[in-house]
Amino acid sequence: MVKKSRSYRAAAAQVNETPLPPLEAIKLVQEIAKAKFDETVEVHFRLGLDTRQADQQLRGTVSLPNGSGKTVRVAVFAEGDAARAAADAGAEIVGSDDLIADIQAGNINFDATVATPDQMAKVGKLGKILGTRGLMPNPKLGTVTNDVAKAVKELKGGRVEYRADRYGIAHVIVGKVSFTPEKLAENYGAIYDEVIRMKPAAAKGKYVKTITFASSMGPGVPVDPSVTRNYTQPAEA
């Protein structure tokens, strides 16, 4: 068992098992976040999915209205006009054969990738390198596209990925502790709505089982899953 720090135990002591409305849960997460850096806030959905079944997969992206607060370095596999458009949109790394060779040499200095469709035959060679890191361009995520400029801008502007793991839990970035509670609640609302919208048709039983907020170094704070609108409003007295 991993021994928890004194500050973690003190923070956990402020949390009870009663789920809170989203805004109140966020405020508590911010109150008990004591790290010396601007912690990331995540939401964890425990879903009624058996992801061993092909028809119960959940994966996609969602654009956060207030951004993620994270600096995203983007690498783009493209040539010609598309490469120039990617660079103009702010991609840190743009290339084709040269970029592939660089990655094969172990240089992975980026957080996300985009590729034009004609590059995927080459990029496929990087499957074992990028796939294990969740960095392969994917048409379902909008990162295999001819409009590379749009994809780059979305990734840098706050588009985040969600994916249910083998336990049916989706971990999604909501923002930073330094955000206002209302901005984090708005981001959470966008994520919640998207997760509901993308519910697999084959899902059986209760879909959203539990929801938890947590900062990078803090304990989980349970969220009331019955609050499905007015995410930025305080609890009624």
Burial grade of 226 (CB within 10 A; 0-12, 13-18, 19 or more): exposed
Rounded Cα distance, 215 and 155, in Å: 22
CA 11 to the chain's CA centroid: 24
Residue 1 has pLDDT above 80, yes or no: no
Q: Give the N- to C-terminal CA distance of the chain in Å, as an integer.
A: 40
Q: Give residue 237's pLDDT band: very low, low, confident or very high (50, 70, 90).
A: very low
Burial grade of 175 (CB within 10 A; 0-12, 13-18, 19 or more): buried
What's the pTM value of the predicted model, to 2 decimals? Answer: 0.78
| The predicted structure's pLDDT at residue 75 | 98
| The predicted structure's pLDDT at residue 188 | 96
pLDDT tens string 125-154: 999 999 989 899 999 889 999 999 999 999
pLDDT tens string 189-202: 999 999 999 999 99
Is the CB of residue 25 less than 8 Å from the CB of residue 226?
Answer: no
> Any idea which residue has 């609108």 for tokens?
229
Q: Give residue 228's pLDDT band: very low, low, confident or very high (50, 70, 90).
A: confident
Rounded Cα distance, 141 and 151, in Å: 10
Average pLDDT over residues 66-83: 95
C-alpha distances in Å from residue 80, one per residue of 68, 87, 116: 31, 11, 11
* Domains of the chain with CATH codes: 18-68+159-223 (3.30.190.20), 74-157 (3.40.50.790)
